[in-house]
Amino acid sequence: MSRCIAIINGGGDCPGLNGVIRGVVRSAILQHGWRVLGIEDGFDGLIDEPHFRELDLDAVQGILPRGGTILGTSNRGNPFSYPVREADGTVVVQDISQQVVTNFKGLGADALVVVGGDGTLAIARRLNDLGVPMVGVPKTIDNDLQGTDLTFGYNTAVGIVTEALDRLVTTAESHHRVMVVEVMGRDAGWIALEAGLAGSAGGILLPEIPFDIELVCQHIHQRREAGSRFNIVVVSEGAYPKNGDKIVQATAEETHGLVRLGGIGHYVAQQIADREGLETRVVVLGHVQRGGTPSPFDRILASRFGVQAVEMLAQGQYGQMVALRGREMVAVPIDEAVAEQNLIDPAGNLAWTAEQLGIMLGR
């Protein structure tokens, strides 16, 4: 049966998104003879006047190495709580999900591939119940989605941070400084821990292990006493001190989306400078971690996810998310995948390995 399917991505961009789009388009066309529509700018593309375009083989040619997403994205357009500006300028939050369902049906597509993190996939799951048959693809550099061993984009982000750490070591060493490197990850410390391990950081502070600033300073002090005159401390943006709170740049109400974290790197650096009298510098890697070309690993994972999503549509496995388990592609219920976050186990092997290597985790 010839079908028309659509693909949409939501949330922040992520290296590998174009690989998923290409995988969906190529397998849908080459293996099934289906048409594929690309919805632009996340769920914003299904609000008011729908914006979308046909994706044929030419449209996805050469996009595998390209970062970002050819479709554009948005991390503010939750149709179940959508900020609408009234005539008097006030912003009210409305449920406009029916408009999204109607607009989707108006496209003439019979199913949707949704590529996103937990927020986007939770929205998609609810749309599935409202009559938009969909399958999900897990996307985020944070690697915080349950149900899949890995999300695409994460490997690239770890590579970018590791390269930055390698570069920072040489300048920290030359100036005998403490470099505090703040990295992304929201509530999950995967990027900090794995890149910190790969980049031989002296300390790594994670959202999963509230840190004791006294121990952080003690560790730096001891390293200096032992003859090491520089130090690299990787701080996840969601890390926070014992008896303290996460540092927030903007609340969920202010962003009409997710809390924006940031600033903990400066706090840690200031504490080290004040308590130890050392010269510190802070590097906030920010969106560099999401930019640029995906790693070969992520290109392959993204391609596998895209192809598998089409296979799941062919088999009518709606409401499910494609996932990597070991070396295999499997389908997992989206409800399961978004029920809780995939976080670092403070008592698990990765944290243990770091500490066995002498890396300070602030506890």
Are 79 and 95 contacting, i.e. CB atoms less than 8 angstroms apart?
yes
Q: Look-up: residue for tokens 């927020």?
A: 119
* Shortest Å distance, C-beta 103 to ligand F6P: 24
178 vs 282 by CB, closer to ligand F6P: 282
Q: How many other C-beta atoms lie within 10 A of the C-beta of residue 43?
A: 30
Chain Cα centroid distance, residue 260 = 13
* Shortest Å distance, C-beta 146 to ligand F6P: 15
* Shortest Å distance, C-beta 251 to ligand F6P: 13
Task: Report d(CA 114, CA 5) in Å as an integer.
Answer: 11
Which of 142, 144, 187, 298 is labelled catalytic?
142
Report 36-75 residues binding ligand F6P (CB under 6 A): 75
What are the structure tokens assigned to 100, written together?
């999204």
* Shortest Å distance, C-beta 12 to ligand F6P: 4
Report 81-120 residues binding ligand F6P (CB under 6 A): 117
Report 4-23 residues binding ligand F6P (CB under 6 A): 12
Helix axis angle, 97-107 to 118-129, nearest 10°: 80
Beta-strand runs (E) in the chain: 4-9, 35-39, 52-54, 82-85, 91-94, 111-116, 134-138, 178-183, 203-205, 231-236, 248-250, 260-261, 280-284, 320-325, 328-333
Task: Judge whether 110 counts as a catalytic residue.
Answer: no
Closest to 96 (Cα-Cα) out of 110, 77, 114? 77
Chain Cα centroid distance, residue 355 = 26
**What character string, x for contact with ligand F6P (CB under 6 A) and - otherwise, covers 232-251?**
-----x--------------
Q: Which residue of the chain is nearest ligand F6P when measured via CB? A: 184
250 vs 273 by CB, closer to ligand F6P: 250
* Shortest Å distance, C-beta 117 to ligand F6P: 6
5 vs 121 by CB, closer to ligand F6P: 121
Report 126-165 residues binding ligand F6P (CB under 6 A): 140-142
Q: Which of 290, 312, 338, 354 binds ligand F6P (CB under 6 A)?
A: 290
Report 172-191 residues binding ligand F6P (CB under 6 A): 184-186
Task: Report d(CA 214, CA 219) in Å as an integer.
Answer: 9
218 vs 341 by CB, closer to ligand F6P: 341
* Shortest Å distance, C-beta 259 to ligand F6P: 8
75 vs 148 by CB, closer to ligand F6P: 75
Task: Report d(CA 83, CA 53) in Å as an integer.
Answer: 25
* Shortest Å distance, C-beta 239 to ligand F6P: 12
Closest to 277 (Cα-Cα) out of 177, 140, 189? 177
Are 204 and 344 contacting, i.e. CB atoms less than 8 angstroms apart?
no
202 vs 238 by CB, closer to ligand F6P: 238
Size of the site for ligand F6P (CB under 6 A): 13
Question: What is 139-196 written as a DSSP string?
Answer: B-TT--BTTSS--BTHHHHHHHHHHHHHHHHHHHHHHT-EEEEEE--TT--HHHHHHH
Q: Which of 180, 201, 261, 354 binds ligand F6P (CB under 6 A)?
A: 261
41 vs 142 by CB, closer to ligand F6P: 142
Task: Report d(CA 6, CA 40) in Å as an integer.
Answer: 11
Report 191-230 residues binding ligand F6P (CB under 6 A): none
Q: Known catalytic residues?
A: 142
- Give me the residues that bind ligand F6P (CB under 6 A), please: 12, 75, 117, 140-142, 184-186, 237, 260-261, 290
